[in-house]
Amino acid sequence: MELYFAVNKVDATLLISSTHHREKRNYKFNGKKVKHIKILNFDSKLDIQNMEYNEDLTEYLLNGDPEIDIENAGKNLRHTNRLVVDDKLKPVYNYKEFDVLIAPDGELKERTHKQSIRNTIGSVPVIASDEYISPGEFIQKYIVKQSYFMGHTDGVSYKFLFEFAKKLSEMHKLVRIYAIDSETKKKMPIVIRNGGSLFPAAYIEGKIRGEDYCLTLLLVERELTFKK
């Protein structure tokens, strides 16, 4: 992915890649590879939870003729669609999405979900602020959900990132970054992907060794709060 980034009015389009990659895994039986597939297992009408809504289960089973459909059961499904269903497994077509928020006291609250739009690439760059925090303070204050390595695309962006990493390394600080609304010019939380999570805070950590640098973008899930 790309990130349009600026420090002190010097900007560049950078590459970012996840710091954690899912480990590839093979499954074998008797030395031979096996794989997961989707097959038709049962009709939702025969679901045990659905049956529980019927007072006379015997009559329901007799009238429902719960015989296995030999023609379809066990069939390999190549194309499937995800359906939204209610507690009785009936499809629901008109529904609203809500974000579930956890208050400091542990209470769960709902908020209407707003579709998020990526704001790390475009006409206005993500900026580094003048807000710094030590690594120790950062660990105690925030919970990190995702992290990315920042990389250069050419010699100019290499020098730009190396100097930035060197500054942060010498300061022993992390710097907070913000996306900027193209219309209002106000600071905004970072959104990496369309429809993805909105991160309330984002910081960059920098290190250098010789001519090598390492810049890590840390995306915060939530800020820790403690009761007194």
Q: Is the confidence at residue 180, as pLDDT, over 60? A: yes
184 domain residue, yes or no: yes
Please give the average per-residue pLDDT across 100-121, as a whole number. 83
* Number of compact structural domains in the chain: 1
Q: Which of 13, 5, 215, 12 is nearest to 127 (CA)?
A: 5
CATH of the domain at 201: 2.40.290
As given in the structure block, the two tokens for residue 96 are 């609203």
Please give the average per-residue pLDDT across 38-66, as a whole number. 59
According to the model, what pLDDT value does residue 182 have? 87
99 domain residue, yes or no: no
Q: Which domain holds residue 163?
A: 2-21+116-223
28 domain residue, yes or no: no
177 domain residue, yes or no: yes
Q: Is the confidence at residue 114, as pLDDT, over 70? A: yes
Select, from the ranges 50-59, 67-76, 104-113, the one with the highest average predicted confidence (pLDDT): 104-113
Please give the average per-residue pLDDT across 46-66, as a whole number. 59
Q: Is the confidence at residue 54, as pLDDT, over 70? A: no
E strands within the chain? 2-7, 10-18, 27-29, 32-34, 98-102, 108-112, 126-133, 142-151, 174-180, 187-188, 190-191, 198-199, 201-209, 212-223
171 domain residue, yes or no: yes
pTM for this structure? 0.66
DSSP annotation of 76 reads B
Q: What is the pLDDT of residues 5-30, one digit of tens each?
A: 999 889 999 999 999 877 777 877 78
144 domain residue, yes or no: yes
According to the model, what pLDDT value does residue 187 have? 92
What's the Cα-to-Cα distance from 187 to each of 29, 62, 98, 169, rounded to whole Å?
Answer: 54, 64, 24, 25
Sign of CA dihedral 73, 74, 80, 81: positive
Q: What is the pLDDT of residues 190-208, one digit of tens each?
A: 999 888 888 989 999 999 9
According to the model, what pLDDT value does residue 43 have? 57
Q: Which element (helix H / strand E) includes 139?
A: helix 135-141
DSSP annotation of 45 reads G
140 domain residue, yes or no: yes
187 domain residue, yes or no: yes
Q: Which of 77, 41, 75, 45 is nearest to 63 (CA)?
A: 45
For residue 41, name the pLDDT band (cuts at 50, 70, 90). Answer: low
**Residues near 56 by Cβ (< 8 Å), separated by ≥ 6?**
none
